[in-house]
Structure 1
């Protein structure tokens, strides 16, 4: 119990003084710093986890973009506006692919995460296999949906 009181912060110190005391103590101890993401070798599961979070954020943000459809005017008027731009089929297909890719990736990878929650596919080899399967399914379903 006495050890707790010995390490207690003295009353009357400011946050700046405490921060300086903390850094002086830790810098002088020569302990290694905590690892940073730059020292890790990036693996497929690591990248896919980051991308899953990113696509989730992108999908959430895109809801605000889709809310533009609620502005005055009908869907047909917005469609006519896009048609009047005379964009080539390659650009339109690419734009449709770019719009549908985050949705399909997040969906397929979400199913993969649900399987993990059930305790399936948790070995290292299964992690990589399911990652490749998710990527293949994402590309195929994105191409198919963009072609519609």
Structure 2
């Protein structure tokens, strides 16, 4: 077929769609799922290697992820907060997709609102989760 044949329908391209929160949430759902699986696998292997390597290696692993009254480990907090934010975002987006799979929430206004609510939920749930860990358990 030559490029001059204009009778066939053209597939929509990303440039003709207006970006909205529903698109960002869909992409973020995939990214958080892949990211949690990758980081989780790396952490599992690291934990197993540290466990098998002896007490000093295991203590080094624990020092990164254990709350200490005297010190603040920024890397552990960043990793923990990032993973919990990813988890809550992925969970909220999954519930949103489940509702859509049942045939609801396809109206543009409610779809946009539910996409925005996934972000709000993930931030609030992460803040509450880490407040509980740091204040109540710490």
Is this a same-fold pair by TM over 0.5? yes
Q: Could you list the runs of 5+ residues in structure 2 that have no partner in the other structure?
A: 134-138
2:21, 2:112 within 8 Å by CA — same for their partners in 1? yes
Q: Quote the residue 2:124 is aligned against.
A: 140
Q: CA RMSD in A?
A: 2.9
SS at match of 2:3: helix
SS at match of 2:50: coil
1:96, 1:146 within 8 Å by CA — same for their partners in 2? no
Residues 81, 51 of structure 1: CA spacing in aligned structure 2 closer, same or farther, 3 A cutoff?
closer
TM-score for both structures, normalised by structure 1:
0.66
SS at match of 1:72: helix
2:22, 2:115 within 8 Å by CA — same for their partners in 1? yes
Residues 90, 54 of structure 1: CA spacing in aligned structure 2 closer, same or farther, 3 A cutoff?
same
1:98 and 1:87 mapped to 2: Cα distance?
Answer: 20
Q: Quote the residue 1:79 is aligned against.
A: 62
How many residues get paired? 122
**How far off its partner does 1:71 sit?**
0.9
1:93, 1:146 within 8 Å by CA — same for their partners in 2? no
| 1:1-148 equivalent positions in 2, closer than 5 A | 25-29=1-5, 34-67=11-44, 68-73=46-51, 76-80=59-63, 88=72, 92-147=76-131, 148=133
**How far off its partner does 1:34 sit?**
4.0
**How far off its partner does 1:38 sit?**
3.2
Deviations 1:37-93 (A, max 9, x none): 23422111111111111111112212321222111336544122567xx97466654
